[in-house]
């Protein structure tokens, strides 16, 4: 039995789509957008979100994680932001606890929103996850699964935190794009990936177990693996941004990009990794946002 924490489903969804939401997590998310933003999910958004919630809980028999709630369990105390709606207000909500302001997204500088996602201007705009490096300590062992889905990246895309202080070396950083050599950094060590054509799609770092190997994925392809490393016991309090890098506490903005999905939670086992990639891909397909 899966426990749903901190949500109310009394009365069901009070919005307007003809699709009937059935999943409690999806209902709570939809009702919060309606309550706070006055936004009713479209029929496509409602059905896609309902499917996504059922799948991460292992309740869809068509997916390889049927009967296994590991993805939901890994994310339940952290963050998945589906970035639905068409305004910055609706894009910020955390599916895992929509009623709580904790772990909602914040948007800084030049950011605009449409149905696809949030576009940063390449000058001052970036997205804050409001996850800090201090939150890393709450992760199970050394594990983490952090990443995003981007669309139509112009040249490069960075997310994460980077510290040059060896005693405060709690780093999670990913860089990709056609104008730079892609890299990944997990806790204390860089991993050079080399030139790629990674300009859009789902890119993420997965670490699982102790010690943890930093696996750098892009659209389901494992591009590189870092050395086995332990999560540092002492880390600094940086905020983890998207389309930017927090370098020793200073946020450096990257070229204009559109971010359409974002996540941060405990790392996934090898069996769950391809399922998560498929669930995210299918969510983007059903929303009509997949372009890769």
193 token code pair: 């990936």
Average pLDDT over residues 275-283: 97
Q: Burial of 234 by CB count in 10 Å (0-12 exposed, 13-18 middle, 19+ buried)?
A: exposed
88 token code pair: 């910055």
Contacts (Cβ under 8 Å, ≥6 apart) of 87: 37, 39, 113
pLDDT of residue 166: 63
- Is the pLDDT confidence value at 194 over 70? no
For domain 24-287, give its CATH number from 2.60.120, 1.10.3470, 2.60.40, 3.40.50: 2.60.120
Higher pLDDT, 273 or 193: 273
Distances (CA, A) of 248 to 214, 226, 280: 21, 21, 31
pLDDT of residue 7: 29
Q: How far apart are the C-alpha atoms of 258 and 240, rounded to whole Å?
A: 17
Complete DSSP assignment for 109-160: SSEEE-SS-EEE-SSS-EEEEEEEGGGGGGSSTT-EEEEEEEES-SSEEEEE
Average pLDDT over residues 137-142: 80
The lowest-confidence range among 69-78, 126-135, 185-194, 234-243 is 185-194
CA 196 to chain centre: 22
Cβ–Cβ under 8 Å, residues 204 and 184: no
Q: Provide the whole-model pTM.
A: 0.91
pLDDT of residue 282: 98
Cβ–Cβ under 8 Å, residues 230 and 187: yes
pLDDT band at 237 (very low <50, low <70, confident <90, very high): confident
Average pLDDT over residues 8-27: 73
pLDDT of residue 185: 74
Cβ–Cβ under 8 Å, residues 252 and 244: yes
| pLDDT tens-digit map of 93-133 | 999 999 999 999 999 999 999 999 999 999 999 999 999 88
Q: Please state, rounded to an integer, the average pLDDT across all residues of the chain.
A: 86
pLDDT of residue 61: 97
Average pLDDT over residues 51-66: 97
Distances (CA, A) of 112 to 86, 98, 120, 121, 288: 9, 22, 7, 8, 19
pLDDT of residue 13: 66
């Amino acid at each position: 039995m899966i426990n749903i924490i901190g949500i109310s489903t009394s009365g069901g969804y009070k919005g307007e789509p003809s699709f009937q939401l059935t999943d409690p997590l999806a209902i709570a998310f939809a009702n919060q957008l309606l309550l706070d933003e006055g936004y009713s999910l479209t029929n496509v958004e409602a059905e896609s979100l309902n499917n996504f919630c059922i799948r991460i809980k292992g309740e869809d028999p068509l997916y390889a994680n049927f009967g296994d709630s590991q993805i939901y369990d890994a994310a339940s105390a952290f963050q998945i932001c589906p970035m639905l709606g068409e305004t910055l207000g609706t894009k910020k909500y955390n599916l895992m606890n929509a009623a709580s302001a904790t772990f909602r997204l914040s948007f800084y500088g030049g950011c605009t929103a449409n149905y696809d996602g949030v576009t940063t201007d390449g000058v001052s705009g970036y997205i804050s996850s409001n996850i800090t490096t201090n939150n890393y300590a709450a992760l199970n062992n050394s594990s983490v699964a952090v990443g995003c889905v981007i669309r139509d990246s112009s040249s490069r895309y960075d997310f994460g935190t980077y510290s040059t202080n060896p005693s405060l070396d709690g780093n999670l950083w990913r860089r990709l794009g056609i104008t730079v050599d892609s890299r990944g950094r997990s806790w204390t060590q860089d991993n050079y990936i080399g030139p790629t054509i990674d300009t859009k799609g789902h890119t993420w770092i997965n670490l699982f177990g102790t010690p943890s190997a930093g696996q750098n994925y892009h659209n389901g392809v494992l591009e590189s693996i870092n050395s086995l490393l332990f999560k540092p016991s002492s880390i600094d309090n940086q905020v983890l941004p998207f389309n930017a890098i927090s370098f020793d506490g200073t946020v450096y903005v990257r070229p204009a990009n559109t971010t359409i999905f974002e996540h941060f939670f405990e790392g996934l086992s090898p069996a769950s990794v391809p399922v998560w990639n498929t669930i995210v891909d299918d969510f983007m397909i059903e929303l009509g946002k997949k372009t890769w």
